[in-house]
Amino acid sequence: MTGKQTTAPERTRRSARQLVAASVGNAVEWYDWYAYTFLATYIAAAVFPKGTGNSLVPLLSTFAVFAVGFFMRPVGGLLMGAVADRRGRRAALTVTILLMGGSSLLVGLTPTYAAAGVAAPVVLVAARLLQGLSVGGEFAASTTFLVESAGPGRRGLFSSFQYVSTTAGQLVASGIATLLVDTLDGPAMDGWGWRVPFWLGGAFSLVGFWIRRGAAETRSAAQRQAPRPDLFEALRRHPRQSLLIAGITAGGTIAYYTWTSYLPTYAELNAGVAKSDALLVSTISLAFFAVLQPLGGLLSDRVGRRPLLLGFGVGFAVLCVPLLHALRDSFAVLLLVSCAGMVLLTGFTSVSAAVNAEVFPPRVRAAGIGFPYSLTVALFGGTAPYVGTLFKDLGHSGLFPWYVAVLCLLSSLVYLRLPETAHRELER
């Protein structure tokens, strides 16, 4: 063997660079995604004005806002996962962040309906297509990259940064959107203010791209020399693992989107909580959630993944209904309910990347994770706010907590039969 041996400090620095490359890029990806969510009402007013008399506009509006973003994610997971398996994890990560940067700029440059007519919503739909493609591919590539970059006994810790960075991106997007709304008057915000976060997102993406270009490839030399897998090889040759990813994810994604995205709206609709209080609680609990993730990851490296997953699944199955029914018009109660859910949720989020990566062999690891995970998120996570609102509109709002609890119980049955992989060597 030639060359000097890598020292412990050098290995630590290399691991830190890998962690930063994955986390910064992932935070930028999710900043762009959530910026659209926070500013959707301003975008709709500019691009989908009421009373246009054109039947295409409300159709495209519904398609863009409610469907395109989430349901392009499985396609992105499959395509970008295949790029990661065939060309390398780093190559896929650079593509996804450039896609997100381009789509963010496209949203920021979307013309108004008054200026461009139906072309305006068409441009916005195209931007959302690219965003969904990018976010779906990002999870597949960054999950694989993070876990393969981890040293022995650190896969859980590295895995946890998937949601640390996701939450950081959400908080930054929320902060910038709030600052703009509080600083600019109505006409300025309606005219150009809503575009600023997307221009910033394009700039942030270039920074993330630069950082990722310096990351080390984690696909092994043996994998680089092996024949390239075809697009559907993971689904065709590993159907059991694909179904396993869906079962692992279903309860986790409904709980995640309920607690991190829908809970403020649920509290407003069902408990009369003021919007300002609900948003403040959301910000505090998200920061608390980000701090919990590395602790959960470290714990899983010591005691295993399955105990944390079972703690999450059974905990949510038992406590989701009483927690949501306990909500009332009280800042303190909402904060307590929100933080309690975040503690339980950490049992899933802090280890999900590691568990997913440990299920598939390296040859098809990224594509194998990307498609079933993103499809499950689209079916159960992305629809959580709409299912909750539908129950409310039908006069059965009390059924929504049971819906979440049942999905978490079903996932718990999967966790119960899941083999423990925390202390096994990761196949490379």
**Cα 398–Cα 385–Cα 391 angle in degrees, nearest 5:** 30
The confidence score (pLDDT) of residue 218 equals 85
Phi, psi values for residue 20, rounded to 5°: -65, -40
The confidence score (pLDDT) of residue 59 equals 47
In sequence order, the 6+-apart residues with CB closer than 8 A to the CB of 251 are: 312, 313, 316, 348, 407, 408, 409, 410, 411, 412
Q: Mean pLDDT for each 10-residue chunk of the chain (428 residues)? A: 55 79 85 82 78 55 61 89 90 91 92 87 88 88 89 89 92 89 87 93 91 84 77 88 94 93 85 84 92 96 96 96 92 95 96 91 90 90 80 84 95 94 83
User: pLDDT digit string (tens) for 232-275?
Assistant: 888 889 899 999 999 999 999 999 989 988 888 888 888 888 87
Residue 190: Cβ-neighbour burial (10 angstroms; 0-12, 13-18, 19+)? middle
pTM higher than 0.75 for the full model? yes
Distance of CA 388 to the CA centre of its chain: 20
**Cα 115–Cα 121–Cα 125 angle in degrees, nearest 5:** 145
User: pLDDT digit string (tens) for 390-424?
Assistant: 888 788 888 999 999 999 999 999 999 998 988 88
Q: Which residue has the tokens 């692992």?
A: 248
The confidence score (pLDDT) of residue 2 equals 44
Contact at 8 Å (CB) between 82 and 231?
yes
Selection from 169, 172, 215, 205 nearest residue 97 by Cα: 205
Residue 102: CA atoms inside 13 Å, Cβ hemisphere, count? Answer: 13
Q: Which two tokens stand for residue 410?
A: 């079903």
Structural domains for the chain: 19-215 (1.20.1250.20), 232-428 (1.20.1250.20)
How far apart, in whole angstroms, are the C-alpha atoms of residue 421 and residue 213?
A: 31
Contact at 8 Å (CB) between 156 and 298?
yes
Residue 325: CA atoms inside 13 Å, Cβ hemisphere, count? Answer: 12
The confidence score (pLDDT) of residue 24 equals 85
